[in-house]
Structure formats: structure tokens, C-alpha cells
Structure 1
Amino acid sequence: MDGTLVDSEKLWDIALHEMAKHLGGELTLETRLRMVGTNTAVTLELMYAELRLELTPEAYAEADAWLGDRMAELFTDELPWRPGALDALRTARDAGVPTALVTSTVRELTELALDSIGREFFDVSVCGDEVDGHNKPHPEPYLRAARLLGVDPTRCVAVEDSPTGVSAAVAAGCTVLVVPNELPVEPGERRVFRDSLIGFTLPMS
């Protein structure tokens, strides 16, 4: 979702840089890029390591709540679409293709995003706090989505923008339509590259 369908990584940029200042430090570009495609737990681990702070359970709970509240504020406004993403969703829906939203974002924020994106485009959704800690790059998010859809993951196409997401989808057995955004993605097995989703058709060309 983030960076694939909507350009919400820029909203995460705002919140994460604000959080670093709130904690008394600065977030470097290198560490911020390492956060792309990960879940909240990994993001906070990277943040606290960057700032040389101890991430105690109490600190984690406070930081998690702070970040969730700030992102909820930012997600309240209409989210900016990635080029061609809305038309791609409409194309898939019009073709009757079963569709899942698979994201590392937690359910609470995903529900806010779906209010903007349109939940009617998805048959099911899998969020970062629903996979028992087996977040991307682990294949479980995509395997869970395939189970919920009742389909074989090897017959699925995942749309991803980051190395972490691509690794998860490939490990699950999916073919991946890679549309890089913040980070470059290396060529590899079961990967088809496009510059954007503009002109997306079924079957993929």
C-alpha cells in the first residue's frame, strides 16, 4: 500500500522525522530508507538504535502510540495516489480478479487508508499486526492473503515497490510486478518491472 498504491511514504517521512526530534535527535536518510517496507516494530528498533536510546517495553509502547496518533492525523486527509494505481485497481475489479491488500501498516491505520483508497477494490486485507510477527520479508503476509482468497499463491501476482515487499512475495511463490519507488529493486526470479502502473492491463503486457 505505502509507496505502491498511494504515496504515503512521504507522510511517514513527516511523522518519523518529527518523532526523532521529539526524542531529541535527528533521523538520517540512510536509516529512514532502511525503514521502508518494514513494520512498526522494526521501524522503532531502527529509530532507537539510530538515536542511541534504549527501547524498553515502556518506551516501545509510548513510541508506538505517539507514531500511531501522528500517522492517524496524516492519514485523515485524502491520500495521494501513485501514478496509474487507481486505474489499475479499477481494471482488476472490472475483470473480476480476486484482490487482496497486503500491507505492513497496522489495521487501525489501514482502515483509515481504506476510507480514502476505497475498500470496495479489495476482497480481503492483511495488515502488519495480523501475521504473528511474521512480517515482510517473511512470506506469511502473502500466504495469509492467498488463504483468505482461497487461491494458490503461485497463481497470484503481487504488486510491490520495495526490496522487502518483493522478497516476501517471491518467497510466497507469487509473481511480482515491481514498480520501484523509494528504493531500487534488484532483478531476480518471478519479477516483472514497470516504471509505473500507468497503462496497466490484464493480462499484463
Structure 2
Amino acid sequence: MDGTLVDSEKVWDVALIELARLAGGELSRSARHAMVGTTMTRTMQLLRDDLGQPDRDEAADVAWLTGRVFELFTDGLVWRPGAWELLCAVRAAGVPTALVTSTGRKLVEVALDTLGRANFDVVVCGDEVERPKPDPEPYRTAARLLGVPIAACVAVEDSPAGVSSALAAGAAVLAVPVELELPPIDGVHLRESLEGVDPAYLAALLRDRC
């Protein structure tokens, strides 16, 4: 979701920078990059390490950050180039579709006001699995809930954690990096954007594996 379908990583930038300043510090660029695509628990650990404040109250920080991102999400999210067109084309073709995200359910529910709940048959959130990305569990869970083999799925990702999760699960992977560069990886198809991607292109990715 974040960075793949909508440009919400910039929303997280705003909220995390504000939280760091409220704590009396500044969030480093390297720490922010390490947070992309990770869980809230990992993000909070990186924040504490970056600020040199190991004893910060994680629950309080999570509550503040979630509330601030909730406010920013409510103001509306901007689609990534080509993402809306691809989603519409996939749905029109009758392809089962899952949203697999590291973001928690509370914020995902707000984002779905922009994404459209009817556009997804299944939604798997980061706080609804025991082992979130980069573990393969989120994508394997989505395939199981869709009732399709994971080998028949194409995962569209933007972060290293998401790519690792999808690859380990056994899906074909289309990666469109946004915040972080992704090196060439066997089995991962890299593009600069989703513009020009359609269901036929996704089907070709699956055929290429045969």
C-alpha cells in the first residue's frame, strides 16, 4: 500500500519527523530509510536507537504516531503513477486481488476510503499476522484467503522488506522502488512506475517463470 499504490510514505515522513522533534531530536535519513516497509515495532526500535533514547515509552509513541498519521490519511492520499489504472484494469478483468501491507488495520481502514474497499477481495494488515514482512507469512496468508496457489500470484512491491516477503512466499514479483533503490534480484522484475502495466503484462510475468 504505502509507496506502491499511494504516495503515503511522505505522510509517514511528516509524522515521524514530528515525533522525533517532540522527543527533542531529529530523525536521520538513514534511520527513516531503514523504517520503510517494516513493522511498527521495528520502526519504534529504530527511532529509539536513532534518538539515543532507549527507554522511551513505545506504547505512547505508537499511539501518538498512529493518531497523527490517521489525521494525515484523512486529508486524502495521492495515487502513485499508473496504480489506479492498473487496479481498475485488474478488477475489470475479474482477477482476485489482495492488499498486503505492513500498516496496521486502523490506518488501513482510513486509506481504503481512497483505495476503495470493493477493489480488494482480501486485506492482510501488518498487525494481523504473527510474522510480518519480510517474512513470507503475509503473502502466503493472502493467497490462502483468496483460494489460489501462491505460484499463480504476482506481488507488486516497492520496498526491500516487501520484495523479500513476496519472493520467499513463492509469488512472481514486480517491484517499483520509490523511497529506496532496489538492486537487480533474480526473479524480481523492476520498473520505474506502474504506468503501462496491465493484466496482460502481469500474466506474462507468470509465464516467464514456466
The percent of aligned pairs where both chains have the same amino acid is: 56
Question: Which of residues 56, 79, 85 in structure 2 aligns to 1:81?
Answer: 79
Question: Which of residues 164, 184, 202 in structure 1 aligns to 2:161?
Answer: 164
2:187 aligned with 1:201: no
Indicate the residue corresponding to 1:96 in structure 2. Answer: 94
For 1:8-87, what aligned pairs fall within 5 Å after superposition? 8-55=8-55, 59-87=57-85
Hey, what's the Cα distance between the residues in 2 that align with 1:83 and 1:163? 20
Hey, what's the Cα distance between the residues in 1 that align with 2:199 and 2:104? 30
Query: CA offset at residue 190 of structure 1?
Result: 1.9
Indicate the residue corresponding to 1:150 in structure 2. Answer: 147
> Residue deviations 1:74-95, cap 9 Å, x none?
0001200000100000010001
2:195 counterpart SS class: coil
Hey, what's the Cα distance between the residues in 2 that align with 1:81 and 1:55? 37
Indicate the residue corresponding to 2:126 in structure 1. Answer: 128
Number of equivalenced pairs? 202
Indicate the residue corresponding to 1:180 in structure 2. Answer: 177
Supply the AA of the counterpart residue of 2:45: E
Supply the AA of the counterpart residue of 1:68: T
Q: Which runs of 5+ in 2 are unaligned?
A: 205-210
1:138/1:168 contact within 8 Å kept: yes
Query: CA offset at residue 54 of structure 1?
Result: 2.1
TM-score (norm. length: structure 1): 0.96
Q: Which runs of 4+ in 1 moved over 4 A?
A: none
1:142/1:169 contact within 8 Å kept: yes
The Cα RMSD (Å) is: 1.0
Deviates more, 1:70-79 or 1:182-191: 182-191
Hey, what's the Cα distance between the residues in 2 that align with 1:182 and 1:39? 16
Hey, what's the Cα distance between the residues in 2 that align with 1:115 and 1:30? 31
Supply the AA of the counterpart residue of 1:165: G
TM-score (norm. length: structure 2): 0.94
Query: CA offset at residue 55 of structure 1?
Result: 4.1
